[in-house]
């Protein structure tokens, strides 16, 4: 199974003025096409997100939550 890199922090709220997710900064179109994009396309969007969020003057970005499965430690 391949893991798709994503900027999602599970705070999925679209700001109606900016048209951006206040959690990750992506547009609805980018979110919906994310899994079909190439790694290069996803990386280009992720590289642009900090500046995009800053320019949009959105409310403060929420603290990211940790997602995914925890790795089981193997004790020797």
Which pLDDT belongs to residue 60? 67
Per 3-state DSSP, the chain is made up of helix, strand and coil in percentages (nearest 5) of 35, 5, 60
Within 8 A by CB and 6+ apart from 56, the residues are 15, 18, 20, 25
Residue 54: pLDDT band by 50, 70, 90 thresholds? confident
The residue extents of the domains of the chain are 14-56
Which pLDDT belongs to residue 21? 93
Percent of the chain with pLDDT over 70: 74
Q: How confident is the prediction for the chain on average, in pLDDT?
A: 83
- Tokens 């979110």, located at residue: 31
């Amino acid at each position: 199974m391949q893991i798709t890199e994503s900027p999602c922090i599970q705070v999925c709220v679209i700001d109606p003025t900016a048209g951006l997710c206040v959690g990750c900064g992506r547009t609805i179109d980018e979110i919906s096409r994310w899994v079909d994009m190439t790694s290069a396309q996803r990386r280009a969007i992720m590289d642009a997100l900090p500046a995009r969020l800053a320019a949009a003057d959105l409310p403060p970005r929420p603290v990211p939550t940790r997602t995914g499965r925890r790795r089981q430690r193997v004790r020797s």
